[in-house]
Amino acid sequence: MRNKNQTSKDVQAKKKPIEYTYTFKINKSGFLLEFLLSKINLSRNSVKSLLSSNKVLVNGSVVRQFDYPLAKDDEIKIAKHSQNTSNPALRKAKKEETFNLKEYIIYEDKNYIAIDKPSGMLSVESDTENESLYKYVFEYLTKNDPKARPYQLHRIDKDTSGVIVFAKDIKLHSKLKMHWNENVKIREYYAICEGVFENKTGTIKSYLKENDNNLMYSSKDKNGKLAITNYEVVKSNNKFSLVKVLIDTGRKNQIRVHMKDIGHMVVGDEKYRSSQNPIGRLGLHASRLDFINPVDNKIISFTAKLPKEFTNLFK
């Protein structure tokens, strides 16, 4: 005969993981309840019930607030099953968090907060990983103001370190996102690449497309997305080069693909066939971002110092 503890464990083991019936991408700013009512064939009370029972995720975080403000490019997910829990991957880790966001803040005022994101951390939240920069910034802001929230202006790859900027106001975010590519004036990176460059400066231009394995590749097909990368070798030794990169376009994996195209893969980039990893991480760092600030129509600039592992390699 089974004891009570064993029966309880059996019931827990049979619980299905949370699935999602609906996933939506936000096209314009608004409020959560009104958006859900416009998309789902449920009554207002039923939608409020979804919110109160932790069934709605915004950018991977459970949201219960019906007047929660939404921004362009936010992602909404609604849980299919009725468990009164959030996605297990998004539960807080049982162990004490060791990441201290304050140590990574580059700049903060009433309009913006800029972070020097460490390598290995996602920019936005995910169903499969508990840790993300968005999560930490959200928690940081809501400690002092429960209604506050970050509005992400851009993102960088998980394994890339460097500047990421959040707006604190939904209207400011909307103004910037509406003409983001035109507003951005400088997108500067540093890359550690394999080998010694014959040409110390250059410009790489191609049209990027994505294959079935989610890998980007260069093409002459104008149906792809135009990508323009300018580079300058800053330092080099007999094995590696430290390269300053300015991109005219912000395409997925742009720098990594273009460096591969010229035979100087970014170190640690197994995805694009790098075979060397002298620093134990991807050798790519977002060092500077300048854009026109709609508040005063002046250029605002954010910079993140080169990681020590980058500079140490060329001492």
What lies within 8 Å, CB to CB, of 156 at 6+ separation is 117, 123, 162, 163, 164, 286
In which residue are the tokens 């915004």 written?
58
d(CA 41, CA 48): 13
Q: Output the DSSP codes for 133-192.
A: HHHHHHHHHHHH-TT---EE-----TT-EEEEEEES-HHHHHHHHHTHHHHEEEEEEEEE
The CB-side HSE value for 186 (13 A sphere, CA atoms) comes to 15
* Tokens found for residue 310: 């980058």
The verdict on whether 109 is a catalytic residue reads no
In which residue are the tokens 């619980």 written?
15
Helix, strand, coil % (nearest 5) of the chain? 25, 35, 45
Q: What angle do CA 172, 131, 208 make, to 5 degrees?
A: 65
Identified catalytic residue from 10, 74, 109, 157: 157
3-state secondary structure at position 124: coil
Catalytic residues: 157
